[in-house]
Structures are given as structure tokens and as C-alpha cells.
Amino acid sequence: MGNADLRSLAAIEDVSFDTLGGSVVAVDAHNWLYRYLTTTVKFTDAGAYTTAEGEEVANLIGVVQGLPKFFEHDIVPVFVFDGGVTELKGDEVAERRAARERAEEQRAEAEERGDAVAAARLEARTQRLTGVIHETTRGLLEHLDVPVVEAPAEGEAQASYMAARGDVDYVGSEDYDTLLFGAPETLRQLTSSGDPEVMGLAPTLERQGLTREQLVDVAILCGTDFNEGISGVGPKTAVAEINTHGDLWSVLDDRGAYIEAADRVRELFLDPPVTDEYDFEADISPDIDAARAYVTEEWDVDDDQIARGFERIESATVQTGLDEWA
């Protein structure tokens, strides 16, 4: 289901960071990191984050610039990383790869004609989370004592599971699929400059007169990352159809329609691969000196790009007492 589709159904309201102090947030690491990565690439000279060996680690600048927001508001982030790619998501991965390749071709053309603005924008679109980016992000988070959880499959599914169990207070993600995965509350806009939004599952279901299972059915009818929807069926129509017929199968029967692998997609949202084998501490004691050395000495990032971020992290952990949490 397109993000715009789910947003039109979701119960979302603004929330002040000031009210979130003391919270633990399971952050969809892929989602969060990709946004900071593309922003860094778009607005930072490549020489600032390219090692002597040619490895690009713009992610390290993004992490250092993005983490202070959590610490300054007394919020503990727990970064949840994706595991293996879900089989049903293979087509989406292939489409994203093809889109990156097209953007890379367009970027080269923009550079040839001297269009620096277009080239920068297209450069951001070609970014992908490489093995080096995963490795260095985990390394930096370890030095900063930020908890990490490894998901068996979708990170947002694992984060939603942790929130549903009450092990964290919120999921942090821009993806509306956290509703389908059962996250009670999701914080959005964590990478933006202002206050975030909170998206609630219970008020969404109440507003639409649906159960969670029916909300998943609505999403499948419209189309998700894992399936094509029914042509011409948008969110309002899908809700009306489910309210009338009760479930996905009855709607499909009534329309004489078919959605490939619909039963597997439904199961993936309602019973996704997750793990109970995680453990983390909410008392964070970042080693600022080690983290700075890791970024600037081991990975050759320009100190000017991360100095302010580290200053904010150090100041925040002292002021909020994050390093003394129990």
C-alpha cells in the first residue's frame, strides 16, 4: 500500500519532544539511516566522507548529526536492523535496483552538461546501504553505546513486535506499514527539524471501524510492498468494501478478482518473522573520544563535518543524565 494511501486512513497527531522524555524508541534502522544518508550526500562534498581507498561512508556523518535529537530529549534509541530480504519483496528490491541504475545514468549525464544541482539530487537517489555502511554504522553505534537489535527479516516488523510486547514505548519509522505489523504507536518525522508525529493503531482502527486483520486486508486490496493491488481500488473504496463484506476473501469473491500470494502477504503482516532473542540496556554511556577516533581516524571523515554533532551528543548525555539511567 502506498504511504499516501495509509496516511489518509491513519490517526496521526503532532507530539512535542518535551513529552517524550524517558521513552525508549525502537528505530527502523534502515529507514532512519537511508534518510540521513541521502541528505548527507545531497548537501556534503563527497571528499568529506570518502576514504583514501575510495569507500564512501556518508552514513557516519548522518549518524553523528541525527543521534543528538534523541539524546537532547532524553530518549533512548534502539536501532533495529533488517535481516534477510523477504522472498515476497524480491520484486520491489529489483525495481529499486533498476531505479538506482537509471538515476546513475541520469547523474552522469547531468555531470557531463555541468548541471551540478541536478547531479547532486540524482546522486542522493542512487544511494544504497552497502556492506560497508552497515558495518560502520554498527561500529559507531557500539562506540556510542546505542543498543542494536538484529531482526530475522523486516526491521519494522521486529520493532513493531517489541513495541507490542511493551519492551519499547514507540517504533520510530517513516513507514506506515508499522500499523499493519501491529505497532501500538509509531513516531514519525524523527529525521525532520521540528517535533515528530505520533501514529496510533487503536485510534486508526476505531476511526475506520476495522480490526487489525481488516486493516491488513484493506492494504492488500490497495497494494503493498509485497503485492499489486486491485486496479482502481483506493483506500476509501477498500475500507468500504471490507466494511461491507467483512474480509479480503469475500471482497475478492464479490469482484471476481485475484491477488497473487494474498494469503502469504496477509500472514507476513499478521505473523511476520520476529525474534524474542534480544536484550538491551537503557543506560547509555557513550565513549565520545573512541567514537570520534573511529569516524575521523579509522574512516577518514572530515572532522569539521562531525565536530558539532559530537559536541551535542556529549552535552546532551551530561545534561539529561542518559549515562546514568537505570
pLDDT of residue 230: 95
Q: How far is CA 208 from the centre of its chain?
A: 25
Using alpha carbons, list the distances in angstroms from residue 84 to 80, 120, 155, 161, 166.
13, 31, 10, 17, 25
pLDDT tens digits, 6-24: 889 999 999 999 999 999 9
Confidence of residue 317 (pLDDT cuts 50, 70, 90): confident
Residue 260 lies in a domain: yes
pTM: 0.85
Residue 302 lies in a domain: no
pLDDT of residue 30: 92
Q: How far apart are CA 86 and CA 290, in angstroms?
A: 36
Residue 174 lies in a domain: no
- Tell me which residue range forms the domain holding 227: 205-270
How many helices (H) and strands (E) are present in the chain, helices listed first?
16, 9
Q: Any idea what the CATH number is for the domain that residue 241 is in?
A: 1.10.150.20
Residue 17 lies in a domain: no
Residue 225 lies in a domain: yes
pLDDT tens digits, 70-120: 999 999 999 999 997 555 554 444 444 444 444 445 445 544 665 444 434
Number of structural domains in the chain: 1
Residue 240 lies in a domain: yes
Q: How far apart are CA 263 and CA 255, in angstroms?
A: 17
Mean pLDDT of the 139-145 span? 98
- Are the C-beta atoms of 238 and 254 separated by less than 8 Å? no
Residue 249 lies in a domain: yes
Residue 250 lies in a domain: yes
